[in-house]
Amino acid sequence: MEVPKDLLYTLEHEWIRVNGKNAVIGITQFAQDQLGDIVFVELPEVGSLIEKESPFGVVESVKTVSDLFAPVGGKVTKVNKELETNPEIINNEPFGEGWIVEIELSEAKDLESLLDPDAYTEQCEKEME
């Protein structure tokens, strides 16, 4: 299971890549594998505010619907429009081209409660039992 070292994670299997006061958010390899073929992504509006731990979008596979939970609060600065026509990019490149939104962080301290790669790897192993 791929868990890049330069990212932070949530228990709901989102990842976040922090770059100064901006952060890119996506779902992990583990999450896309659990969902299966992703066929639809509902994205938030650019400029909207998202709240830490609240749903900000939806990913649907053939089998199931899954809410996207915000790892941190902030204002949406970009959304990955490509996912509207090619949602399967998330399956193929969850940590790269399959990113979902970019936000401007409201509170740097939101980051403190996130999981580091080791803690996240442990979490995935637990769930695979």
Partner 1 sequence: MSTSSNLKVTPLIDVHKEFRGKLVPFAGWKMPIQFQGVIPEHQCVRDGVGIFDVSHMGEIEIRGPSAKSLVQKLMTNDIDSMQDNQVLYTLMCLETGGVVDDLLVHRFSEDHYFLCVNASNTEKDFQWILKNSDSYDVAILNTSSVTAQFAVQGKNSEALLQKLCATQLNEIKYYHFEKVKIHNFESIIARTGYTGEDGFEIYIDARHAETVFRAIMDTGKEFNLQPIGLGARDTLRMEMGYALYGNEINEQSKPLEAGLGWVIKLGKEDFIGKTELEKQKKAGNKRKLAGIRLLDRGVLRPHYQILKNGTSVGELTSGTFSPSLNTGIGLCYVSSEYAEPGKKLEVKIRKLNVPAELVKLPFLPTRVKKN
Nearest CA to 17 out of 91, 78, 89, 83 is that of 78
| CB 107 to partner 1: min, Å | 27
By CB under 8 A, name the one of 1, 2, 21, 37 that touches partner 1.
37
> Which CB atom, from 56 or from 114, has the smaller least distance to partner 1?
56
Query: What Cα–Cα distance (Å) separates residue 106 from each residue in 29, 43, 47, 95?
Result: 27, 19, 13, 23
Residue 108 tokens read as: 């740097």
C-alpha span between 112 and 96 (Å, rounded): 23
> Residue 40, interface with partner 1 (CB under 8 A)?
yes
State yes or no: residue 36 binds partner 1 (CB under 8 A).
yes
At its nearest, how many Å lie between partner 1 and the CB of residue 32? 11
Residues in Cβ contact with 129 at an 8 Å cutoff, skipping those fewer than 6 apart? none
93 binds partner 1 (CB under 8 A): no
Which residues make up the interface to partner 1 (CB under 8 A)?
36-37, 39-40, 42, 58, 60-63, 65, 84
